[in-house]
Amino acid sequence: MALTSAIDLGPATALTCRECGNTRDLGPHYACEECFGPLEISYDFGEVTRASIEAGPRNIWRYKGLLPVPSHIEETPNTEPGLTRLVRADHLAETLGLSRLWVKDDSGNPTHSFKDRVVAVALAAARELGFTVLACPSTGNLANAVAAAAARAGIRSAVFVPSDLEAQKIITTAVYGGTFVTVDGNYDDVNRLASEIAGEQEDWAFVNVNVRPYYAEGSKTLGYEIAEQLGWRLPDQIVVPVASGSQLTKIDKAFQELIKLGLVEEKPYRVFGAQAAGCDPVAHAFKQGWDVFRPVKPDTVAKSLAIGNPADGTYVLDVARRTGGAVEDVTDEQVVEGIRLLAATEGIFGETAGGVTVGVLKKLAESGVLDPSAETVIINSGDGLKTLDAVAPVVAPTANIAPVLDAFRAAGIA
Ligand SMILES: *Cc1c(COP(=O)(O)O)cnc(C)c1O
Ligand SMILES: [Zn+2]
Domains and CATH numbers, the chain: 12-74+115-215 (3.40.50.1100), 86-112+219-394 (3.40.50.1100)
DSSP state of 4: P
Residue 5's pLDDT is: 59
Q: Of the candidates 121, 135, 120, 127, which has an alpha carbon nearest to the alpha carbon of residue 199?
A: 135
Residue nearest to atom 12 of ligand 1 (CA): 381
Among all bound ligands, the one having the nearest atom to the CA of 20 is 2
Q: Is 348 a residue whose pLDDT tops 60?
A: yes
Q: What separation in Å is there between the alpha carbon of 201 and the centre of ligand 1?
A: 26
Residue 167's pLDDT is: 87
Spell out the residues 6+ positions from residue 331 whose beta carbon is closer than 8 angstroms to its own. Answer: 276, 277, 278
pLDDT tier, 75 (very low <50, low <70, confident <90, very high otherwise): confident
74, 68 Cβ separation under 8 angstroms: no
What digits encode the pLDDT tens for the residues 139-198? 899 999 999 999 999 999 999 999 988 888 899 999 999 999 999 999 989 999 999 999
Per cent of the chain over pLDDT 90 is 93
Q: What is the mean pLDDT of residues 358-383?
A: 98
Ligand 1 pocket test, pick from 136, 381, 383 with the greatest ligand atom count within 8 Å of Cβ, gives 381
Q: What separation in Å is there between the alpha carbon of 302 and the centre of ligand 2?
A: 33
Number of the ligand 1 atom closest to the C-alpha atom of 245: 8
What digits encode the pLDDT tens for the residues 203-236? 999 999 999 999 999 999 999 999 999 999 999 9
Q: What separation in Å is there between the alpha carbon of 241 and the centre of ligand 1?
A: 7
Specify burial of residue 262 (Cβ count, 10 A radius: 0-12, 13-18, 19+). exposed
End-to-end CA distance of the chain: 69
Residue 116's pLDDT is: 98
Strand 100-105: give its sheet, edge to edge: 86-88, 100-105, 375-380, 237-241, 270-276, 326-330
DSSP state of 403: S
Number of the ligand 1 atom closest to the C-alpha atom of 142: 15
Spell out the residues 6+ positions from residue 407 whose beta carbon is closer than 8 angstroms to its own. Answer: 401
Residue 139's pLDDT is: 87
Provide the CA 182 distance to its chain's centre, in angstroms.
22
Number of the ligand 1 atom closest to the C-alpha atom of 106: 13
116, 218 Cβ separation under 8 angstroms: no
Number of the ligand 1 atom closest to the C-alpha atom of 247: 9
Rounded Cα distance between 316 and 329, Å, is 14
Provide the CA 39 distance to its chain's centre, in angstroms.
19
Q: Is 2 a residue whose pLDDT tops 60?
A: no
Ligand 1 pocket test, pick from 141, 300, 319 with the greatest ligand atom count within 8 Å of Cβ, gives 141
Residue 190's pLDDT is: 95
Q: What separation in Å is there between the alpha carbon of 140 and the centre of ligand 1?
A: 10
Q: What is the mean pLDDT of residues 344-356?
A: 98
Among all bound ligands, the one having the nearest atom to the CA of 143 is 1
Among all bound ligands, the one having the nearest atom to the CA of 39 is 2
DSSP state of 63: G
Residue 166's pLDDT is: 83
Residue nearest to atom 11 of ligand 1 (CA): 381
Among all bound ligands, the one having the nearest atom to the CA of 21 is 2
Q: Of the candidates 207, 104, 212, which has an alpha carbon nearest to the alpha carbon of residue 159?
A: 207
139, 200 Cβ separation under 8 angstroms: no
Angle between helices 220-229 and 115-128 (to 10 degrees): 120
> Mean pLDDT for the chain?
95
Number of the ligand 1 atom closest to the C-alpha atom of 208: 7
Number of the ligand 1 atom closest to the C-alpha atom of 241: 10
Residues with CB under 5 Å of ion ligand 2 are: 17, 19-20, 22, 32, 34-35, 37
Q: What separation in Å is there between the alpha carbon of 33 and the centre of ligand 2?
A: 7
Across 44-48, 71-75, 158-162, 172-176, least confident range: 71-75
- C-alpha dihedral over 340, 175, 76, 251, to 10 degrees? 40
Q: What is the mean pLDDT of residues 48-52?
A: 97
Q: What is the mean pLDDT of residues 21-47?
A: 95
pLDDT tier, 122 (very low <50, low <70, confident <90, very high otherwise): very high
Q: What separation in Å is there between the alpha carbon of 136 and the centre of ligand 2?
A: 24
Which of helix, strand or coil describes residue 158? strand
* Cα 246–Cα 167–Cα 133 angle in degrees, nearest 5: 55
Residue 135's pLDDT is: 98
Residue 168's pLDDT is: 87
Q: Is 78 a residue whose pLDDT tops 90?
A: no
Q: Of the candidates 224, 197, 226, which has an alpha carbon nearest to the alpha carbon of residue 136?
A: 197
Residue 74's pLDDT is: 72
Q: Is 250 a residue whose pLDDT tops 50?
A: yes
Number of the ligand 1 atom closest to the C-alpha atom of 244: 7
Among all bound ligands, the one having the nearest atom to the CA of 38 is 2
pLDDT tier, 275 (very low <50, low <70, confident <90, very high otherwise): very high
Spell out the residues 6+ positions from residue 29 whose beta carbon is closer than 8 angstroms to its own. Answer: 15, 39, 213
Residue 280's pLDDT is: 98
Among all bound ligands, the one having the nearest atom to the CA of 137 is 1
Residue 204's pLDDT is: 97
Q: What separation in Å is there between the alpha carbon of 367 and the centre of ligand 2?
A: 39
386, 166 Cβ separation under 8 angstroms: yes
Q: How many residues does the chain have?
A: 414
Residue nearest to atom 5 of ligand 1 (CA): 243
Residue 105's pLDDT is: 98
Q: Is 3 a residue whose pLDDT tops 80?
A: no
**Residues lining ligand 1, CB < 6 A?**
113-115, 141, 219, 241-247, 304-305, 351, 353, 381-382
Phi-psi domain of 222 (left: phi exceeds 0; alpha: psi -120 through 50; beta: other): alpha
